[in-house]
A and B are shown apart, each in its own frame.
Chain A
Amino acid sequence: MQESLGYYGLILQGLWVTVQLTVAGCLLAALVAFAIGLGGVSRAWPVRLACRFYTLFFRGTSSLVQLFWAFYVLPQMGVELSPMLVGIAVLGLNVGSYAAEVVRAAILAVPREQSEAAVAINLTRWQRMRYVILPQALPLMLPSFGNNVVELMKMTAIVSLITINELTAQAQAIRSATGDTLMPYLAILILYYLLSLVLTAPVKWLEKRGSTSPR
């Protein structure tokens, strides 16, 4: 117990990597979510079909398999990426596919009349989306986005399996160095829990604000 206390520096380093992975992953996931989500309501059926396949593929297979595939198979096809980049890409592409469904569903949930009214006052397609549909769809997306963000944060644990030294990997390292099991795992569990609380706080705040704003 005592000796592993000296290892807290490792855990802090791991925490920093986990935070980096979460932030970068979320940015990519947001990009994917809106690209694929908007593509899912496109007028052109090939675009819709492509977006459907994207979600089917990323939601239908396990994130761990996607991670290993990107890590072991891509280099054999001549694509060499750093483990960190592979991790961020898989996290973002995977969670993005779930968030894309959220975006699509929220856009479809805005009543049809809104769209028709926007056409009637001569807004372009872009203006209709930007000023009429999305402002009403965004508050609908927020609660689910909050869940997506926490899911992504938890998913960062699996990149420890492709040699990235984030929280879980550091706990494993401490376990093999000291033989102590309880302290490292308890420490990272608490940190993950605190991270999840921090991540859900802004969404809860925005939700409150979004629901009271007079739209």
Chain B
Amino acid sequence: MTWDWQFVWSFMPTLLEGAWLTVLATVVGTVIALLLGAVLAVAGYSRYRLVRGAIAFVVQFLRGTPLLVQLYVIFFVLPDIGIVLPAFLAGVIGLGVHYSAYLAEVYRAGIDSVDRGQWDASTAINLSRRQVWLHVILPQAIPKMVPPLGNYSIGMLKESALLSTISVFELVARAQAIGNETYRFTEPLTLVGLSFLTLTIIFTLLLRLAERKAEGLR
């Protein structure tokens, strides 16, 4: 086996385009997960037992089944009932929905970590509900949520590789296409691995930055 640099330069541009799609899928997936996770978390506090039970089941089901199969359901089953989504949209919805279950738990843990006495004290000094949330609870809860939220976002970055199976042309799909065309997998797959490593390191550094910013909220 030999390493061919000339070959590497010939496919670098297409790989970089793939990296862009990987990042885009991660960012859009994160936004969907952040929003849907918040909905699940709030609904989990419902005063109706039925709603709480249903949410707990949904969260457990999403966390207990593979993302790959969930992607297949969105991509292969939904069209049968008339919902046809473009591959990229199906992929980021899959990512976002899967991870929303994890994020819901993060939100809940963050909010529950704020001492009960803080609520009582806020009531005692006559703050409105809005003021309690904005000025007392969230500033204490958010710094605790940021590290796990960031880690799940990095998890999404790595799992976005699965979108290649539903024909989203991100990093892994590009490496496969190059391999199938040239019968050489060594260079493209190795470089895709290095790209993921680089991206995770960049995302981790950004997360540290966000953590420091969040600490400033207190």
B179 at the interface (CB under 8 A from A): yes
Residues of B within 8 A of A158 (CB): 66, 68, 162
If the complex has contacts A60-B196, A196-B64, are A188 and B69 also in contact, measured as CB distance less than 8 A? yes
Among A29-68, those with CB < 8 Å from B are 56-57, 59-66, 68
Q: Is the CB of A154 within 8 A of B65?
A: yes
Q: Is the CB of B158 within 8 A of A196?
A: no
Q: Is the CB of B193 within 8 A of A61?
A: yes
How long is the Cα–Cα vector from A182 to B80 in the complex, in angstroms? 8
Q: Which residue of A72, A157, A181 contacts B179 across the interface (Cβ within 8 Å)?
A: A72
- Chain A residue with Cβ nearest B197: A60
Q: Is the CB of A182 within 8 A of B1?
A: no
Residues of A within 8 A of B66 (CB): 154-158, 168, 192
B111 at the interface (CB under 8 A from A): no
Q: Is the CB of B61 within 8 A of A72?
A: no
Q: Is the CB of B69 within 8 A of A61?
A: no
A175 at the interface (CB under 8 A from B): yes
If the complex has contacts A62-B159, A62-B172, A65-B172, are A72 and B64 also in contact, measured as CB distance less than 8 A? no
B213 at the interface (CB under 8 A from A): no
- Chain A residue with Cβ nearest B159: A62
B67 at the interface (CB under 8 A from A): yes
**Nearest-CB distance from A164 to chain B (Å)?**
13
Q: A-B contact count, CB below 8 Å? A: 108
B205 at the interface (CB under 8 A from A): no
- Chain A residue with Cβ nearest B157: A62
If the complex has contacts A72-B185, A185-B76, are A157 and B193 also in contact, measured as CB distance less than 8 A? no
How long is the Cα–Cα vector from A207 to B68 in the complex, in angstroms? 30
Among A167-204, those with CB < 8 Å from B are 168, 171-172, 175, 181-182, 185, 188-189, 192-193, 195-197
- Chain B residue with Cβ nearest A76: B1
If the complex has contacts A62-B172, A65-B196, A168-B66, are A76 and B186 also in contact, measured as CB distance less than 8 A? yes
How long is the Cα–Cα vector from A168 to B186 in the complex, in angstroms? 27
B63 at the interface (CB under 8 A from A): yes
Q: Is the CB of B64 within 8 A of A192?
A: yes
A109 at the interface (CB under 8 A from B): no
Q: Is the CB of B67 within 8 A of A60?
A: no
Residues of B within 8 A of A192 (CB): 64-66, 69
Residues of B within 8 A of A193 (CB): 60-61, 64-65
Q: Is the CB of B193 within 8 A of A185?
A: no
B192 at the interface (CB under 8 A from A): yes
A161 at the interface (CB under 8 A from B): yes
How long is the Cα–Cα vector from A157 to B64 in the complex, in angstroms? 12
Q: Is the CB of B69 within 8 A of A189?
A: yes
- Chain A residue with Cβ nearest B201: A60
Q: Is the CB of A157 within 8 A of B68?
A: yes
Residues of A within 8 A of B200 (CB): 59-61
Residues of B within 8 A of A69 (CB): 189-190, 193
**Nearest-CB distance from B68 to chain A (Å)?**
4
Residues of B within 8 A of A62 (CB): 158-161, 172, 193, 196
Residues of B within 8 A of A154 (CB): 64-67
Q: Is the CB of B172 within 8 A of A196?
A: no
Q: Is the CB of A65 within 8 A of B193?
A: yes
How long is the Cα–Cα vector from A72 to B179 in the complex, in angstroms? 9
- Chain B residue with Cβ nearest A188: B69
User: 8 shortest A-B CB distances, which residue pairs?
Assistant: A196-B64, A157-B66, A72-B185, A62-B161, A64-B161, A154-B66, A62-B158, A157-B68
Give 8 pairs: A residue, B residue, CB < 8 Å, sorted on A: A59-B200, A65-B196, A160-B68, A168-B68, A185-B72, A189-B61, A189-B73, A193-B64
Having A185-B69, A185-B72, one finds 13 other A-B pairs with CB under 8 Å, namely A61-B200, A62-B159, A62-B196, A63-B161, A65-B171, A65-B189, A68-B176, A72-B179, A157-B66, A185-B77, A189-B61, A192-B69, A193-B61
Which B residues contact A (CB, under 8 angstroms)? Answer: 1, 60-61, 63-70, 72-73, 76-77, 80, 158-162, 164-165, 171-172, 175-176, 179, 185-186, 189-190, 192-193, 196-197, 200-201
